[in-house]
Structure 1
Amino acid sequence: MRTPSPSWLLRGAGFAAVAFCALPAAANCGRPIVTPLAPVGIGVIIEGNQVSGIYPALLKQVSARTGCVFKTSVVPQARLESMFELGTADVMVPAVGTPRRDQFGDFVPMASARAMLLSVDADRPAVRDLTELLQRHELRVVAVRGNDYGEAYQAALAELSRQGRLYLEPDPLQVARLLGEGMADVTILTPMSLAQAMIENQRVRPLLDRLRIEELPELPWSHSGIYLSRKTLNAEQRRYLTAQLRKGYDDAKVWEQYRRYYPANVVAASMRLR
């Protein structure tokens, strides 16, 4: 499978900042908006010096319409989380809405997503919930450092760490490699995040056909979208950016991109639009 390439899905190189002609509306942003990006499915795709995906395309669209400048850089997920909490990033995108993140910014929901238990072992007995996962001491768990799917997820990771069977990796590709090499048994991720890593890397691509998806009832559907920092953006800036981001996000086109790019079972398990 290849990334679809209609004009709506941006594929740009050296994406240090999205900037277009300075329109009068740019005054509503006031200054360049610091927007670090971490790879997450086709929401944000990083390939060498190229950045593409649904959210970079959305930022480009907002820039073209308003003159606002989004100063972007590529960072690991854990660093993105830290930058947002410390107030060195104006935007966290994309992100799942959580109570912890709500302390630092206003959330702009775009879709719904959920994390699930993922593996490449079809013969393993099923895991019915997080409680059972914590009791299954033979299962080694790998997770992406900096991911947050809510309080139940964080509590489970803390207990798995205490038990000495949690591995933390910087991105979904490393997670896929550990699963493929038999160094870990399961992970907790959105299926599209792991599928994206498998699609883009020749070494782990064969694992996609073996991907096993299991629901964890403690991890329900959560809103996914964009956080705007209350530390660095004033109320007027946040209101303006919220309106512009929502105006540019086309549900039908987003859904089409997901369905064209991922296997049907991965899309069905991973997301719902607004």
Structure 2
Amino acid sequence: MMRPGMLLALLLSPLAMAGPVNCPEQPIRLAYYEYGLLYDSGRGIDKDVAEELMRRSGCRFSTSVLPRARIWADLASGELDMSMSGIQTAERDRFAWFAPYLAMKNYALLNKSAAAKISKADDFLANPDLQFGVVRAFRHGKQQDEWLAQLRQQQRIQESPDAETLYQKLKQGRVSAIFSQPPVFAKYLQKLGMQSSILIEDWTPGERGVPHGLILAKQRFSQEDAQRWQVLVRQLRDDGTLRTIFLRHLGPAEAQTLLDF
């Protein structure tokens, strides 16, 4: 049973007191980026989450689709107000607030020709003939980013502007492996007919999925504004809306992993 003092502290917390969001006079400029089942040709998990936030907030929005690197630059400069499924870092904390609504873990996807010689990340690192592919400006998780930094020092990283280009390189053998998440490889392995030629492995079994969230530019939103949006996002999880959205695009097991944040 909750003690009265604990209940009072909860009721008086800034998030509990935040209330409905404050809608700015000008439409909120929100950008999506094309990425697997998160956003794919006008539909996806991010689109569904954003539309639910639009409905519940009552605010006016102006939306666009931009490359991921451009989105981060525009959020930092104030040219953009909001985006979806971003990873919080110390660098990004300088210009943005975050409200997580899903967690995604990156798995290693290997061409089966390379997989015959590779059973773990250290095996890949030890083979100088193998190239690894990444999407430019993407963050993967602490262990995976530290491992990738070693490959960068050896000039064994190939960057791509988007996920589809990355998967094309994997299919063509221009890279031997990539990191990717279930909502992304669920789309591209089927789209490119790669299901039988790719092996999926967990190279960081002790690492949980990385939280991804709504991104709010500090040039547009105050800390109090951000807290109000965080409350709204949290309500989507608490009332089951996020689960419903995830199940719209993924199977039950995959949808459950997204809620682990």
- Whether TM exceeds 0.5 here: the answer is yes
CA distance in 1, matches of 2:210, 2:149: 21
Using structure 2 for the length normalisation, give the TM-score.
0.77
Equivalent residue, structure 1, for 2:129 = 138
Q: Is the 8 A contact 1:145 1:171 kept in 2?
A: yes
CA distance in 2, matches of 1:119, 1:268: 23
Equivalent residue, structure 2, for 1:214 = 201
CA distance in 2, matches of 1:137, 1:219: 26
Q: Note the aligned Cα RMSD (angstroms).
A: 2.8
CA distance in 2, matches of 1:127, 1:270: 24
Q: Is the 8 A contact 1:91 1:229 kept in 2?
A: yes
Equivalent residue, structure 2, for 1:126 = 118
Q: Quick one: which amino acid aligns to residue 232 of structure 2? A: Q
Using structure 1 for the length normalisation, give the TM-score.
0.74
What's the offset of the Cα at 1:269?
10
Q: How many residues align?
A: 237
Q: Is the 8 A contact 1:36 1:73 kept in 2?
A: yes
| Aligned equivalent of 1:80, options 50, 67, 71 | 71
More strand by share: 1
Q: Quick one: which amino acid aligns to residue 69 of structure 1? A: R
CA distance in 2, matches of 1:191, 1:65: 28
Equivalent residue, structure 2, for 1:8 = none
4+ residue stretches of structure 1 with deviation over 4 A?
none
Q: Is the 8 A contact 2:151 2:157 kept in 1?
A: yes
Q: Is the 8 A contact 1:251 1:273 kept in 2?
A: no
Equivalent residue, structure 1, for 2:87 = 96
Relative contact order: is structure 1 or structure 2 higher (C-alpha 8 Å, sep ≥ 6)? 2
Query: Tell me, which stretches of 5 or more residues in structure 2 are unaligned?
Result: 1-19
DSSP-derived class of the 1:160 partner: helix
| Aligned equivalent of 1:229, options 208, 211, 217 | 217
| Aligned equivalent of 2:38, options 39, 43, 49 | 43
Q: Is the 8 A contact 1:36 1:74 kept in 2?
A: yes
Q: Is the 8 A contact 2:95 2:219 kept in 1?
A: yes
CA distance in 1, matches of 2:76, 2:142: 17
Q: Is the 8 A contact 2:103 2:212 kept in 1?
A: yes
